[in-house]
Amino acid sequence: MGKNRRRAKKWAQAHLPILQSEFAVVGYGGVGGARRALSVDNVQAEGLAKASATASASASSGDELEVPASMLKEMSGTEFVTYATGRQNVAFMDVSIKLFRWYNPLYMLGDFAVSMFFDSWPVPVERVECTAYSFDGKEKDLVPAPSAVEKELIEQRTKGAANSSSYDGFVFAVVHKNCMRKLREDRYDISLTFTRDNPKLPQWATVMSESAEITDTMLTADLIKAVEDAGEDFEYLIITDQPLDKPTKLDETTPGKRINLSLRLPKSGSYTTTMPIFTYFLRLTDRVVSAAHFRAEVVRKLRNTRDEETRKLRRAHEVEKSEERKLQAEKVKKEERDRLLRGMSAEEQRKFLEKERERETKRGMKKATRKG
């Protein structure tokens, strides 16, 4: 497990500076940032390229940055997690670092061997998965305000369309083609998209989107460059408002807006190539909040897709309720029949059951006649 701890710590050392520059709190102990969390104006003024270069230099400088013990939490021998919050437009962010079973080489070799013979068994990969959860205009519900004054300040900051963190719900993804099939099979939200190759992207990457207008809005030059820089270590970047699993209940259709990033951990141990896409991911919510307000025609199409799923669930719910009512009525009828039989003499029971059989016979004959 020592090797995995070192791998997780090295990731933290490389990414702590950019995380602290973006979030007020990083980790589970209230670790403050080196400077305050950036606003949209700060991001636009500094530029993605400059921030990425700064973070990349830190990632490759070799300096032993001290990582607070509270930054990483060891969930198991192969998984380490961290958390960040305190940023405009982002409620919080989760990071999961998944590593090989270096502490048990036999099991690790077994995983690789099985994956060679069974397509259903994925090839083991060391990766980092990040999820940023959007405020979507719900700051006053999600941000704890100790006093009425602070609550009022939050409401003032988010009041008006220009300051709102809400945006139209949609699904958009840039995906490595090796991951495309599994994502479409495993994720309900991705099943709502269409796959279109884009000449601006590398040949090994593709776009999965609900609309061409969404693609034109979200596929920026900075994103394309960051994907190219990450190369084969890039797996996917997904903007979504839909659940991972297909909804089975009405309350599961409630939108949950978030952004997912999945990267393989570079074999070289240097994060210079993946730092630009990680930095872009951290600030992508700002882009979404400012730009993801589409034409009425596009919004109507998106809403119709979601409403259709809701209608299907409502119909299924009504059928289920109808079946429950039918079963309950039959149960009451049976209980009443049993109560009547218990109060009858043996002769009365015989006559009652005989009449019941006659009614069943006549009912069966009528059904046969109608079929004929």
Q: What is the percent of the chain with per-residue pLDDT over 70, rounded to a whole number? A: 77
With tokens 């909804």, the residue in question is 247
CA distances from 64 to 10, 60, 172 (A): 9, 11, 38
Q: Which residues of the chain have pLDDT under 70?
A: 1, 30-64, 102-108, 110-122, 138-163, 370-372
Say if CB 21 and CB 38 are below 8 A apart: yes
Q: Given this model, what pLDDT does residue 36 score?
A: 42
- The string of DSSP letters for 51-87 reads HHHHHHHHHHS---PPPPTTT-EEEETTEEEEEEEEE
State the Cα–Cα distance between residues 12 and 72, nearest whole angstrom. Answer: 8
The domain limits of the chain are 2-294, 303-371
* 153 token code pair: 């300040």
DSSP classification of residue 268: T
Q: What is the pLDDT of residue 341?
A: 86
- Tens of pLDDT along 101-155? 766 666 667 665 666 666 666 677 899 999 999 987 766 566 555 455 445 554 5
C-alpha to C-alpha distance for 201 and 327, rounded to whole angstroms: 57
pLDDT of amino acid 68: 84
Which uninterrupted H or E stretch holds 175? strand 172-176
3-state helix, strand, coil in the chain (%, to 5): 55, 15, 30
| pTM (2 d.p.) | 0.75
Angle at 195 between CA 175 and CA 274, to 5 degrees: 15
Residue identified by tokens 């009443």 is: 336
pLDDT of 107 reads 63
pLDDT on residue 240: 96
DSSP for 148-171? HHHHHHHHHHH-SGGG--------
CB-count exposure of residue 105 (10 Å: 0-12, 13-18, 19+): exposed
Q: Cα-atom radius of gyration of the chain, to the nearest Å?
A: 29
Distance (Å, rounded) from C-alpha 52 to C-alpha 181? 31
Confidence at residue 298, expressed as pLDDT on a 0 to 100 scale? 94
